Amino acid sequence: MTITINSTVTGITDAYNNALNSIVAKANANNYVIKINGSEVNISEINNVKIDLSHLTHSGRKKIAKRISNYDKKGSLKTINFMFHVMNKMGVTKDKVTIDVSHKEAEIQSLRKIYVKLRTETETARLAYKAAKGDFYK
């Protein structure tokens, strides 16, 4: 299913507002952390991020429409953050918006990283032990 967004100013604005509503619903459901200009804010603050498309050329509007369409199609954190990145880079938004995983999920990911590191160290130590032991006890 291909989602097309009208590349006019009103078409992009409507699609952006729909995407924001979807992002807020997803953030509420998954307890995502929203950061605007580097500081953590409440989820409802993302609705204050307005877009200004008046200075964009037609090809610039098409790029923004493509990013919004890509979010509508996939709906992942990566596509959300890349959409806001492109908008900020092109000067459409004044604020730098990032959406991160919840605090609990970030803690789990960091503990998993520590666990994997210790697991590989344990395997290395086990192989060294087996090599040193060899046939000694047989």
φ and ψ of 75, to 5 deg: 70, 25
Q: Which domain holds residue 136?
A: 103-138
pLDDT of 44: 87
Same domain, 96 and 30: yes
Strands (E) in 1-138, as ranges, are: 33-36, 39-41, 97-100
Helices 9-30 and 58-74: angle between axes, nearest 10 degrees: 30
Same domain, 124 and 114: yes
Same domain, 129 and 77: no
pLDDT of 2: 55
Report how many domains make up the chain. Answer: 2
Same domain, 90 and 59: yes
Is position 2 within any domain?
no
Same domain, 130 and 69: no
Is position 122 within any domain?
yes
Structure tokens at 72: 């509508």
Per-residue pLDDT of the chain (138 residues; tens, 9 = 90+): 556 777 788 889 999 999 999 999 999 999 999 999 999 999 888 988 999 988 899 999 999 999 999 999 999 999 999 999 999 999 999 999 999 999 999 999 999 999 999 999 999 999 999 998 887 776
Same domain, 96 and 113: no
Beta bridge partners of 116: none
Same domain, 69 and 80: yes
Is position 4 within any domain?
no
Is position 1 within any domain?
no
Is the pTM higher than 0.85? The answer reads no
Is position 3 within any domain?
no
